Amino acid sequence: MNELMAVRSLTTLPVVTLGGDAVAHVKDTVFDASAVRITGFTLTGRTLLSGPLPQDLPWPAVHCLGHHAVMVRGREALCDVPLSVARRDALHGRLLGARVVTDAGDVVGTVLDVLVEGGTSGRVVAFRLAAHRELVHGSRHRRHRVYVPRGEALSASGRTLVIPARATAYVTDDLPGFAARAGAHRDRGRSAPP
């Protein structure tokens, strides 16, 4: 598995060609409707005070997602789109601040951040939540800031994210502990009967 990256840390990353030219900065990360993976980025100009660009960066054009830059083969990776479409896509794919509900109907918190795999997958692995007390009651979670795995059955509509109720059994407040629990969650999902 590639190293995990927080989506909040992607904002303002430079978009750099393999030739070393900085061509833009990331403004927003856009996800697909089921929040399985990144579908692209909306962009701003090369300086941090530049406004939005009338171009976006679709995920298939990304060569590699790293901690310090989003790498693309060349400037042609940026696609011209009307700014209104880019804004609509960014709002549609936005998960930060979304209310999190289990498929059993329990509200468990609000999305603070999204963890994705770096490299070439762009796969959403987990969410960092501002958790409701019920989710962390009776546990060692002090700050009510926890990680929960994305799970297999997930939907995102409007400002609500639905996760499997069983995913809450793998909640932890530290990233190393989360990685171990997420592995157990993934393994359990694979061994479950169809």
Residues 133 and 161 in one domain: yes
Give the model's confidence band at 194: pLDDT under 50 very low, under 70 low, under 90 confident, else very high: very low
Residues 84 and 131 in one domain: no
What CA–CA distance (Å, rounded) separates 69 from 10?
8
Q: Which two tokens stand for residue 189?
A: 């999902």
Domain limits for position 121: 99-191
What CA–CA distance (Å, rounded) separates 146 from 126?
10
Strands 62-65, 70-72: pairing is: antiparallel
Dihedral sign from CA coordinates of 130, 11, 36, 82: positive
Indicate whether 3 belongs to any domain: no
Indicate whether 59 belongs to any domain: yes
Indicate whether 187 belongs to any domain: yes
Residues 187 and 167 in one domain: yes
pLDDT, one tens digit per residue, over 132-190 is 765 554 445 445 788 888 876 567 666 788 888 888 877 777 777 676 665 555 555 44
Domains in the chain, number: 2
Residues 84 and 59 in one domain: yes
Residues 76 and 35 in one domain: yes
Residues 104 and 81 in one domain: no
Evaluate if pTM is beyond 0.75. yes
User: Looking at residue 86, which CATH number applies to its domain?
Assistant: 2.30.30.240
Strands 107-117, 14-17: pairing is: unpaired
92, 111, 143: which is the final residue of a domain?
92
Give the model's confidence band at 59: pLDDT under 50 very low, under 70 low, under 90 confident, else very high: very high
Indicate whether 168 belongs to any domain: yes
Indicate whether 58 belongs to any domain: yes
Query: In terms of Cα–Cα distance, which of 109, 114, 194 is closest to 160?
Result: 109
Indicate whether 1 belongs to any domain: no
Indicate whether 23 belongs to any domain: yes
Q: Which residues contact 127 (CB under 8 A, 6 or more apart)?
A: 95, 100, 111, 112, 113, 114, 115, 147, 148, 150, 161, 163
Share of residues in the chain with pLDDT > 90 (%): 22
Residues 134 and 169 in one domain: yes
41, 72, 92: which is the final residue of a domain?
92
Residues 105 and 78 in one domain: no
63, 92, 121: which is the final residue of a domain?
92
Q: Which residues contact 48 (CB under 8 A, 6 or more apart)?
A: 12, 25
Residues 18 and 48 in one domain: yes
Indicate whether 120 belongs to any domain: yes
Mean pLDDT of all residues belonging to the chain: 79
Residues 127 and 155 in one domain: yes
